[in-house]
Structure 1
């Protein structure tokens, strides 16, 4: 479990193909005193397990599913990556609940300067659009962000100067790709309501099935003043 607050920008030293996935060698400094073999760490929002550590960084395996679903397959030596260690009990939840399970790759379509910050317009995979709501939460490359606006197939996020300096989102340009994780709450709501793509949305009959049965005034047994 993570919260979408990046602790360090690491650098990819090596990508070794391995069993349909890869092994990453990542260089970093600030996290190393507290990072151990077996720990979970989010690399651009993808939860990986640390397999080895050294004074200058760590190694982590990437399974085939993660390789095919994330931007990791485009990593090269020198690629900058956002790093966040797993959230510990008692630590502040400064962003939102980020699982580290990347849902897909989003395309950056426009970058607009906004004073010292930037507004970035992103096109998510069409299958994920329904989980994105204005003022809701998303994670781009592991960074917890608020959806500023939605227009057609795209949505925007506002990046403050701190985020531009302390994460790799400051390097995004039109044509860039970013790992996208939608808010897990949206997925659970969909699951609980039993709604799938192409199905009818919330209806009175569906609410009744779930126990939210509306009562008319004729069913009410209280006094008129209580109606």
Structure 2
């Protein structure tokens, strides 16, 4: 090989390597779970948590990274992708949604009992008359979601709280859902989230969820949503 050709080939190789490294640097990663697998027992068992986090959530992260090259979503934040998900493939939509939703879900759960507080409590009482009434409506949305999906308490752009459900791994940030808003609380009602312990009794799982809600995080979510409104 002539010297000029060799140098040109070497330069192309280095450029390709830099591109690969850049893609690796931009790749999404599985966030650390904020508690032990058994921390949410007896309401969510350790085996379910380990499988849910280590296999299901990890699969969404891995498959999102595989779908990124050539998608037009390279270098964008997860939230940027989610909010403009109609521009991307089904693989991006499903896996970006799965990654975002699960990251949100782990944060809204806590092994430490907390209670509704602050501005969110006041808004819930204004909107639903009571926390128990809000829970009842939320439970209906979660238990009534046909097939796989999620239920959410969201803050809409007009400042109203609303309870909705979404199919599959869609979420209220996405520009493809019927009702958009900022998620405050969310629950995963895919069977893998509860089947080992609750079998087909989704309603029991949804009721147990309220023993684990991190209301301090929900308050943070609400206050952050107010700033985005």
Q: Same fold (TM over 0.5)?
A: no
**Higher helix content, 1 or 2:** 2
TM-score, with length taken from structure 1: 0.28
**Higher strand content, 1 or 2:** 1
